[in-house]
């Protein structure tokens, strides 16, 4: 009779562990799906049409990095002051 009690308790414990793992996996999947969807919509949706020209300007033009910009100033000037 004590073996049956132990087996029943082990079954309950294993079921609890299984349910915890299943909930954790489901939660992880929901979070990952939410993150993927939010990144996709954030890139395509412009909330305010008044900034659309500025976004277009930034997307269509190429700009130097900060390092390249400063180094390019040395081609024109002997002294470059960073402030």
pLDDT one-digit tens code per residue, 7-60: 556 667 787 788 888 878 888 877 878 777 665 555 566 677 889 999 999 999
- How many angstroms separate the first and last alpha carbons of the chain? 83
Structure pTM? Answer: 0.36
Q: Sketch the domain layout of the chain as residue ranges.
A: 2-76
- Alpha carbons 42 and 71: distance in angstroms, whole number: 34
Q: Which band of pLDDT confidence, cut at 50, 70 and 90, is reported for residue 77?
A: very high
Side-chain-facing half-sphere of 77: CA atoms under 13 Å: 9
The confidence band for 2, taking pLDDT boundaries of 50, 70 and 90, is very low
Of the candidates 56, 55, 54, 80, the residue with the CA atom closest to the CA atom of residue 69? 80
Rounded Cα–Cα distance for residues 56 and 51 (Å): 9
């Amino acid at each position: 009779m004590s073996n049956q009690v132990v087996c029943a308790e082990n079954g309950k414990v294993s079921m609890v562990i299984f349910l915890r793992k299943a909930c954790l996996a489901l939660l992880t999947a929901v979070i990952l799906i939410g993150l993927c969807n939010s990144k996709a919509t954030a890139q395509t949706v412009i909330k305010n049409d008044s900034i659309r020209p500025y976004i277009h300007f930034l997307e269509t033009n190429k700009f130097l990095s900060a390092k390249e910009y400063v180094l390019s100033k040395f081609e024109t000037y002997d002294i470059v002051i960073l402030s």
